[in-house]
Structure 1
Amino acid sequence: MNKEFHFLDDGGEMGKLMREKDWSLTPLGAPEGWPQSLRTTVNIILNSPFPMFLFWGDTLKGFYNDAYRPILGVDGKHPKILGLNGAEAWAEIWKDIYPMLSVVTKKGESIWRENLMIPIYRNGRMEDVYWTFSYSPVKDDDGNVSGVLVIVTDTTEAVLAERRLRESERRFRDIANLSPMWIWITDADINVEYANNELLNFIGLSHYSEFEGQVWKSIVHPDDIELVFEGFGKAIEKQERMSLEYRVKNATTNEYEWYKIVAVPKFENGDLKGFLGTGMNIEQQKSFEETLKNEVNHRTKELANSNLKLEAMNKELQSFAYISSHDLQEPLRKIQMFAEVLMDKEYDKLSTSGKEKFVKIQSAANRMQSLINDLLSYSRTDTEKRVFEVIDLKELVADIKNDLGEELKKKHGKITLLKSCELEVVPFQFRQLIYNLLSNSIKYSRADVPPVITIKTEVIKKAKSIDPILSNTKEYVQITITDNGIGFEDQFSEKIFEVFQRLHSKQEYVGTGIGLAIVKKIVQNHAGIISATGELYKGSVFTIVLPKKQ
């Protein structure tokens, strides 16, 4: 290469294009004939890491470097504008840039523009682009302006980002000012940089710029001021989230109201820059808490008094149980004993009316004996010590069938257990439960229809679907006892489990009306449920669901 061409050495892609271009076909002529000022300037821009463009000569022909090349995009002006007249190269914006170029070429003055939007054709379309640039004169050896050096930066992304940020801040402030909550921003020293209208109106300020100095001291309740300083101090020290509840003076009413303040730290490059906070009025909540506290205290005192009364009643109940099991039963046994003696030895001497009366006396005494025994059983169901053991239902049913053998034989009845299982129960209570149910099925059988009683068992794993009080985390056993007896109307399905509730007169069926109440209480003691369904003169079904293991 001719030594005259050394100023085009290097320069990357643009240096290569300039070296390969046949400049002899242009008005500039071959590079060896270029003026020294042009050579020097071209050498400078080719080796500069900053985007540069050179307008040269009367027609402002264009030169640019590799750093400027990305500005032109793809499918645009590159590379045809290299060495092209300015008016032709930048036809679409020439009316915008030529007046600025003229200031430099005619007056020799430099100009500077920041974030100026000038469209450019690139990437196959016109694009709105923001530029920060300077136009500087390039003078020849005689001091005349021969060209304009452009140092430029495409600031479109920065401008749009700033615009988006401003729009985001505007939306944030609009939303914040519509919020019924306090919203505020501070710097790292808790100086307020922003406060929304709700907060400013509450404390009586017109603009957040007034929120400075000792404002906090004048609006926070004196008893809470130390709490506030300690809370903010700890949040700054540990650079962590803060939550406080304290009272703040309402500028309108001059009364203090409770607020809950939550603040989260904001960081920039790992450094604490301040806090973003909210405040919610909790005056009603605090008032409710105070009312609730007073109510709880009042109810606690009432409960304590009730407990004392309950203890006294329990003592009375224990006394009643003792009387029932000893003092009441002793004279009753004597009545029964003397009635039996009279029936054995004096029965024949009685008139027909007297005989009937003695039979009624004996029957009434027997009923009273049953009633006392059932009442004692019912009262002991909750108080007796519960020791759970695993039992086999088959063995228990066999034992009860043996006890009910005479009744079954008399009525030609049958009890069938279709499938046995093991479960954890209080043995003597559970025996009483099954005994009462089977005994009732025999007792309430239809005349001249042999009682047929069927017991089925099933393991249940999703028991909550049966009743919400049961758990899906336990296995349950469902025991179903079905009979063909007199049944009952479904409207009585709950009533039959209540104490002293009878669906039939004592003349029809013997009983005290406590048996099924005892059954229900035993089921509850085992954390289970019991239900009954019936159809009059067709039979009844009792369903028990108990945990397989307690």
Structure 2
Amino acid sequence: MIDHRTYEELLRENAELTQRLEEASDTIEAIRTGQVDALVVNDSDNGHQLYTLKTADHSYRIFIEKMNEGAVSLNEEGVILYANSKFASMLGLGLSDIVGHIFETFVADDVREQYREVLVKAWDDDIQIEANICRKTGTVPCKLSLTSMQLDEGPSLSIIITDLTFQKSIQGLLKENNQQLTIANAELEASNHDLQQFASIASHDLQEPLRKILIFANMLMDKHGTELPGESRRFLEKIISSSQRMRSMASDILSYSGLSTADSDFDQVNLEEILAEILDDYELRLQEQKVSVIVGELPLVEGNRAQIKQVFQNLISNSIKFSRPDVPPVIRIFCDRGNMNGSRQEPATHCHITVADNGIGFEKKYQERIFSLFERLNNKDKYEGSGIGLSITKKIIERHHGWITAESAPGDGARFTITLPFRQPEKQF
């Protein structure tokens, strides 16, 4: 049979078919997105038939189509009656390859039995499971949220499918990072332990040769000091001074490393009694340097008595050491019973103890650095010490679950504030 249609007629018919196809696609999209509520179909046998969509479903259809999750509806046999576009894109399939198929066929084999068990329960209760959903290029980890619904056509099961690919990827990275962090922490703890042991042993072993150097240097000074030339005598004095400073440093390192390994025994500590003991020990030194120490009312706190005493010894010694040469030192020690929650009506949980002096002070930029190990802000020949005292103080306070801060200005003295809990936590370190 010869087709006598002209080229123009073929083009016109093709255009008409294309237009009808576009209209059909637009109609289907309108139905899916709720843009129409009724549809008239020309049936050659029965004439025009009117099919209506419930107006109540309008918002629901729009919502389902615009969701970022996949959504399907199943009948009692598990057949997919409806699927949104998102679910189709998750599988990389067309809707015609999904609707009318049993949902179970898209569930990975390894979780299919679990899905069957959940499917039975879901008709009575809302339930969620994680399952791999099959697609062309593999599987997608998903969360399935199953809810039963009662429609005019009968019972239906709604399943919301959430893609967990990103979450699983993040979980994997977090797990890997946590494992690496655990390994790094174990290595760091081992390294810290070795360093602490080394510091302790080295500091302890340094004591004996230093003691001998000082003994023989002092013997040489006592027996032959007057016979030595002036320059040689100055050299010997420097040997003695440096040895004394090194002995002090070794002793402080030993104390600092001991804080990292020793367990603390906490009891009720009377801070006023501790200050009274320190002032009694320092009586001659205070008199010689005309130091005034003003102590206010101080509380009882829970802590290690020897370590707390060392804190105040270090701070008082620090204030005396860095006093102004032309001004008698004045040290004030007082307490503010503060509540860390900011409410004075609630019971106080912490106290704030301040040690303030009228010494040489320091610049604001150093208020954190002064607590660093071996940090010195002043000339070591003019001001004795190892540069470890405030580091020890800070470490002791932190072991008591507190903290210490410093404020100062050059020529305006220094102000150290210690914050300590009245009671230590149940678990001790």
TM class, shorter-length: 0.7 to 0.9
Partner of 1:324 in structure 2?
203
One-letter amino acid matched to 1:413: V
Cα distance, 1:273–1:456 mapped onto 2, change above 3 Å: farther
- Quick check: 1:522 aligned with 2:388? no
Instruction: Describe the shift of the 1:502–1:323 C-alpha distance in structure 2 as closer, same or farther (beyond 3 A).
Output: closer
* Aligned counterparts, 1:28-43, within 5 A: none
1:105-504 pair list within 5 angstroms: 166-203=54-91, 204-206=93-95, 211-212=99-100, 214-217=102-105, 219-236=106-123, 239-250=124-135, 253-266=136-149, 273-301=155-183, 303-304=185-186, 306=187, 310-311=189-190, 314-315=193-194, 317-325=196-204, 327-463=205-341, 475-504=349-378
Query: Which residue number corresponds to residue 95 of structure 1?
Result: none
Query: Offset of 1:314 from its aligned partner?
Result: 2.7
Output one character per residue of 1:316-352: Cα deviation in whole Å (capped at 9) or x when no partner.
6425423421x32111111111112112211122111
Task: Work out whether residues 528 and 544 of structure 1, in 8 Å CA contact, stay in contact via their aligned partners in 2.
Answer: yes
Question: How many residue pairs are counted as aligned between the two chains?
Answer: 368
For 1:205 and 1:328, the matched residues in 2 are separated by 81
Q: Which is greater in Rg? A: 1
Query: Match of 1:61?
Result: none
Q: Indicate the residue corresponding to 1:125 in structure 2.
A: none
Cα pair distance change 1:463/1:353, threshold 3 Å = farther
Please tell me the residue identity of whatever aligns with 1:283: T
Give the distance between the partners of 1:188 and 1:458, measured in 2 at CA. 72
Contact 1:248 1:258 in 2 (8 A): yes
Q: Tell me which amino acid in the other structure corresponds to 2:281.
A: D
Kindly provide the CA deviation profile for residues 166-218 of structure 1, in whole angstroms up to 9, marking residues without a partner as x.
3221110012112121123334554444332222454435369x63453422x
Name the TM-score, length of structure 2 as normaliser.
0.79
Change (3 A) 1:426 1:333: same
User: What 5-or-longer segments of structure 2 have no aligned partner?
Assistant: 1-51, 425-429
Find the residue that maps to 2:378 and give its secondary structure: coil
Partner of 1:331, secondary structure, is helix
**What displacement does 1:302 show?**
5.0
Residues 336 and 393 (structure 1 numbering): CA distance in 2 closer, same or farther, change over 3 Å?
same
1:546 is displaced (CA, Å) by: 0.9
User: What secondary structure, in the 3-state scheme, does the structure 2 residue paired with 1:224 have?
Assistant: helix
Larger relative CO (CA 8 A, sep 6+): 1 or 2?
2
Question: Structure 1 199/520 Cα, relative in aligned 2: closer, same or farther at 3 Å?
Answer: same
Q: Which residue is equivalent to 2:13?
A: none
Distance 1:344 1:198 in 2: 96
Give how far 1:293 is off. Answer: 3.4
Cα deviation for residue 312 of structure 1 reads: 6.3
CA offsets 1:434-491 (integer angstroms, 9 cap, x no match): 11001111111111211111111122223579xxxxxx99700110111111111111
- Aligned residues: percent identity? 31
1:466-518 residue CA offsets vs partner (Å, 9 max, x unmatched): xxxxxx99700110111111111111101111111111101221111111111
Deviations 1:128-171 (A, max 9, x none): xxxxxxxxxxxxxxxxxxxxxxxxxxxxxxxxxxx9x9322111
CA contact (8 A) 2:335 2:352 kept: yes
Q: Which SS does the other structure have where 1:456 is aligned? A: strand
- Alignment CA distance shift 1:167-1:517 (3 Å): same
CA 1:367/1:297 → structure 2, altered by over 3 Å: closer, same or farther?
A: closer
SS, match of residue 314 in structure 1 = helix
Amino acid in structure 2 at the alignment position of 1:186: L
- What's the CA shift for 1:430? 0.6
> How big is the shift at 1:267?
6.3
Distance 2:317 2:403 in 1: 20
Structure 1, gaps ≥5 residues long: 1-162, 466-471
Distance 2:315 2:180 in 1: 45
User: Which moves more between the two structures, 529-538 or 175-184?
Assistant: 175-184
1:441–1:303 CA distance, 2 compared to 1 (3 A): closer
Partner of 2:383: 509
**Cα offset, 1:549, TM superposition:** 0.5
Question: Given the superposition, is the C-alpha separation of residues 345 and 536 from structure 1 closer, same or farther in structure 2, using an over 3 Å criterion?
Answer: same
Partner of 2:20: none
Q: Secondary structure at the match of 1:453?
A: strand
The alpha-carbon deviation at position 295 of structure 1 amounts to 4.2
Amino acid at match of 2:256: Y
Partners of 2:76 and 2:156 within 8 A in 1: yes
* Residue type at the aligned position of 2:70: W
Map Cα deviations across residues 352-401 of structure 1 (whole Å, 9 max, x no partner).
12211111111111111111011111111121220111112111111111
Post-superposition offset of 1:535 = 1.3
Q: Give, as a single letter, the amino acid of the residue that structure 1 aligns with 2:66.
A: L
Relative distance call for 1:444 and 1:300 in structure 2 (3 A) is closer
- Which SS does the other structure have where 1:420 is aligned? coil
Residues 303 and 487 (structure 1 numbering): CA distance in 2 closer, same or farther, change over 3 Å?
Answer: closer
CA distance in 1, matches of 2:369, 2:377: 9
2:362 maps to amino acid: F
2:405 and 2:128 map into 1 onto residues whose CA distance is 52
After the TM superposition, which of the residue ranges 537-546 and 222-231 deviates more from structure 2? 222-231
Residue 284 to residue 464, structure 1, CA distance change in 2 (3 Å): farther
TM-aligned CA distance change 1:312 to 1:475, over 3 Å = closer
Paired amino acid for 2:140: E
Q: Which amino acid aligns with 1:216?
A: E
